[in-house]
Amino acid sequence: MASTTRRDFLKTGAAVGTIAASTPAIAKSSGQSAIVVGAGIFGLWSAFQLQASGYAVTLIDAWGPGNERSSSGGESRIIRATYGPKRTYFDMVLRAMKLWKMYEKEWGTTIFHPCGMLWFTSPNDSYEQAALPMLREAEVQFEVRNATDSATRWPQINFEGVSWTIYEPDAGYLDARTACAAIFAAFRKNGGKFVKAFAKPGQVRSGAMDGIVLSSGSVLKADAYVFACGPWLGQTFDFLKPIIRATRQEVYFFGTPEGMRSFDDTEFPVWIDNGEHIYYGMPASNSKGFKIANDVRGPVIDPTSEPRTITEAELKGARDYLELRFPQLADAPLLESRVCQYEAAPRDRFIIDRHPEASNAWIAGGGSGHGFKHSPVVGEIVRDAVSGIKQPPEDMSLSLALETYKSFNKT
């Protein structure tokens, strides 16, 4: 696969900082058609971008856009620029931030809540140290504080075990449900077709896929096929089975005491603890409580049949953490919980690449617990790959994912 330089990558669609003021009007039909299987956030943006470049697009999902089983379901997702040494994802998120803001304005809805992001760093801080030069170089606003100064700035937090913090005032969270609904509405408004069905890849003959087989038995055909099946990708293609695993993740929403505003998104940032405890969370908003989740990969599950019931042991872990880090919330009532799954890929790298045997089929997945924020750019990468404009970044190739998987599993 040809390599993609950083400059090329930043230029995906339009150069960072010079994004078109409004959505490109739906291009004149290219006469080409595409089917996107999966209406999670990767599939939605892929469908939207392909459509905007002139493809007649059919989107298929077994349970609907951003459904509750999907990895894109639920309320909120963190968006931040601190990405350790990961240049590809750092460049991507800078562009994604601009695209989210541009499209929410265009669609007249609020998706991006810039309440700030606070990152807790442990004594082992090589990841965070690697992030700082990139933040500086790109002129991302950020503040670094030691634990004492952090405690003065956020007296709601107990910084025990935290060495120093990074605060990004322009980061925040995205409304996941609103985002999925808004992209889907725009796609439909622009003439996109939606089919609610379980779909399987057709046969590969002479180097091309011959269609998509729906649960009804009918077959849909197009010039190009994109499989954005999230945690189901390992069930969709045997070659992805070992490298995309659906891992079980629990999420909790706790109620803040009446009259207390200091944990609301007007006064409190989203936060990530990258120390001894790998937890993250969001402030309370008008509609939701204080969110907290364990970022450690849980057991592998089947995303279709897994019961979405939390476990006592995981809840206790979250409560213990809440008591340690946010003592005023120690007795906060649990308002709501979710069981979701990451679609974990080797080294948390996305997989956006051509099917190894079918030149007209593409894979877009492996969001690995951090994909939502990047999804507008994923849509652009898929659009450019399918239409033959540009190869996806090598960092996201199937061969690299397979190599990485094999190197982890050497005996």
**Binding region for ligand FAD (CB under 6 A):** 37-43, 60-63, 67, 70-72, 77-78, 198-199, 228-232, 236, 249, 251, 293, 340-343, 365, 367, 369-373
User: Do 355 and 209 touch, CB atoms closer than 8 A?
Assistant: yes
Nearer to ligand FAD by Cβ, of 200 and 406: the residue is: 200
Give the nearest distance from C-beta 102 to ligand FAD in angstroms. Answer: 18
Q: What is the DSSP string of 154-223?
A: -TTS--TT--EEEEETT-EEEEHHHHHHHHHHHHHHTT-EEEES-EEE--EETTEE--EEETTS-EE--S
Nearer to ligand FAD by Cβ, of 94 and 229: the residue is: 229
Nearer to ligand FAD by Cβ, of 305 and 331: the residue is: 305
Give the nearest distance from C-beta 257 to ligand FAD in angstroms. Answer: 25
Give the nearest distance from C-beta 230 to ligand FAD in angstroms. Answer: 2
Nearer to ligand FAD by Cβ, of 260 and 301: the residue is: 301
User: Do 396 and 244 touch, CB atoms closer than 8 A?
Assistant: no
Give the nearest distance from C-beta 344 to ligand FAD in angstroms. Answer: 10
User: Do 130 and 119 touch, CB atoms closer than 8 A?
Assistant: no
Can you tell me the distance from the alpha carbon of 106 to that of 21, in angstroms, rounded to the nearest whole number?
A: 9
Using CB atoms within 10 A of its CB, is residue 308 exposed (0-12), middle (13-18) or buried (19+)? middle
Can you tell me the distance from the alpha carbon of 401 to that of 1, in angstroms, rounded to the nearest whole number?
A: 14
62 DSSP assignment? S
Give the nearest distance from C-beta 73 to ligand FAD in angstroms. Answer: 7
Query: Among candidates 309, 6, 272, which has minimal Cα distance to 137?
Result: 6
Nearer to ligand FAD by Cβ, of 194 and 405: the residue is: 194
Give the nearest distance from C-beta 258 to ligand FAD in angstroms. Answer: 28
Nearer to ligand FAD by Cβ, of 221 and 406: the residue is: 221
